[in-house]
Amino acid sequence: MSTDKHLFALYYGSLPSSAAEITITDQQLMHRIATVLRLGVDEEIILFNRQVNAHARIHAINKKHIIMHVISREANRTLDPEVSVILPVLKKDSLHEAIYGLVEAGANRIVLAYTHKSVHHLGQHDLDKLERIAQAAAEQSKQFALPEIIPAQQLANIVSMHADQQYRKIYADPQGISLADQPFFSQDRYLLMVGPEGDLTDQEKDLLRSSGFIFTRLTPTILRAYQASFLLTGAIRSLLVNTKKS
């Protein structure tokens, strides 16, 4: 097998945690492997679930199943430090874009929030869709430790729940201080937030300030909410890559 060939990664919720051989009978996953990716015998792939990922070689393919031999398996690596993101319930397409980008950027937790500007309620069907989007983003980014997506609550409840926890709290706001002017420490836990379409109300911003959020400017321009969410998360992750613990 050529060493420069792209190694695809696919989410497989039923991935066994210890077996040396994997037998796949899920027709949708089989279709993705054999028809969409056009992988064949002796080609390699990464399969993962929320706990582990396995590098495997295809041993046999037929209409009923795909058999793979496991080359290596390891627990999914959770990124440190912890970065949680309070994400307002946005319009559907923007919410989907935000979830995808936050997984790529390395968020550990995504806490969905109803704000004054929220216009629709998220049901279980919506949450299931967000989970599938997160899985697709993990496949692309190979960040296999999927974030926990917390069902939506009112913003005031979420802020109250985090009031006594030790976080560096940052809210993305065009009128805030520059991100470059803030110190960052790898031992900190981070709680990030962006506003919804149309921004937070003055009362909601006062709530964040009283809870210790620092208002931070990301760019000299006005970003859409979903763009700001993963830009802020990615910026924090990038700034912390080479930060040493004290």
> Are 103 and 64 members of one domain?
no
Alpha-carbon distance of 92 to 98, in angstroms, equals 10
Within a domain: 4: no
**For 121-158, how does the pLDDT look when each residue is reduced to its tens digit (9 = 90+)?**
999 999 999 999 999 999 999 999 999 999 999 999 99
> Are 114 and 233 members of one domain?
yes
Cβ-count burial 138-159 (b if 16+ within 10 Å, e if not):
bbeeebbbbbebbebeebeebb
> Are 89 and 190 members of one domain?
yes
**For 21-50, how does the pLDDT look when each residue is reduced to its tens digit (9 = 90+)?**
999 999 999 999 999 999 999 999 999 999
- Give me the number of domains the chain comprises: 2
Alpha-carbon distance of 228 to 170, in angstroms, equals 12
Within a domain: 246: no
Domain of residue 182, CATH code: 3.40.1280.10
Among the candidates 27, 57, 75, a domain finishes at: 75
What percent of the chain lies above the pLDDT cut of 70?
94
**For 227-246, how does the pLDDT look when each residue is reduced to its tens digit (9 = 90+)?**
999 999 999 988 876 554 43
Alpha-carbon distance of 173 to 48, in angstroms, equals 36
Full domain range(s) for residue 153: 83-240
Integer CA distances (angstroms), 246 to 82, 118, 186, 187, in order: 17, 41, 8, 8
Among the candidates 30, 47, 75, a domain finishes at: 75
CA atoms lying within 13 Å on the CB side of residue 123: 1
Q: How many CB atoms lie within 10 A of CB 90?
A: 25
Alpha-carbon distance of 34 to 27, in angstroms, equals 10
Joined together, the tokens standing for residue 179 give 């991100």
Does the predicted TM-score (pTM) go above 0.85? yes
Report the Cα 148 to chain-centroid distance in Å: 8
> Are 120 and 99 members of one domain?
yes
